[in-house]
Structure 1
């Protein structure tokens, strides 16, 4: 099994959190005026949408390398639908533009990326989330 661990800590003087994995960092916050939020970073829903879209973009590149296709341009827009109380994600829609360097059809490439996209496949299948309270 492969594992991935990220860390989050509060940002001093704010109610935001700083997250990191290795040398990469991101700020997580709520919108201005919402529960102390200052809009200093992404909220959870935005991060989920970015995870889905970002993973798909990476998988387009992986698939392109496997299929020996030169990608000229990628544009992905992710719309995450949230509802309920508490809010939960009930759907996500990706609008994808992917063009090849030689102008050939990229349908097979997009289908391959869809079939292996870790985040999208994980969300679609669901997985348990557990909480442990430390010291």
Structure 2
């Protein structure tokens, strides 16, 4: 999987894309030239963790034959130090099902087990900068 980012002319923001999907990346307005045109990197990290988990909840629900009527995932990422580093991510999950007897606990546990982004971060995925 590859994503690309390029600076947006006449701004200090960037646009990132993968396939036909795009997102704007920027700093908050007034911070280091930011205009608040899009998400910052920390927000994107939280969205990556939560978005991957949401998808996994739906994948597992389909495998288990469970119809989900509501999915809620909240991610709080904590940053500390200099340079600023993500030191933890707290995830809260709530799902509702059409079948009130469905095994929601197993559904959530299985989704957590296969969630690629949070598992990769937890295992310390290496980032390489050639050159």
What is the RMSD of the two structures over their aligned residues, measured on CA atoms? Answer: 0.8
The reply on whether 1:53 has 2:62 as its aligned counterpart is no
Q: CA deviation at 1:59?
A: 0.2
CA distance in 2, matches of 1:107, 1:127: 28
TM-score calculated relative to the size of structure 1: 0.94
Q: CA deviation at 1:132?
A: 2.5
Where in structure 1 do 4 or more consecutive aligned residues deviate above 2 Å? none
* Structure 2 residue aligned with 1:113: 111
Structure 1, gaps ≥5 residues long: none
Q: 2:121 aligns with which of 114, 118, 123?
A: 123
CA distance in 2, matches of 1:16, 1:62: 34
The count of residues paired between Structure 1 and Structure 2 equals 130
* Structure 2 residue aligned with 1:43: 40
The reply on whether 1:95 has 2:86 as its aligned counterpart is no
**Could you say what secondary structure the match of 1:53 adopts?**
helix
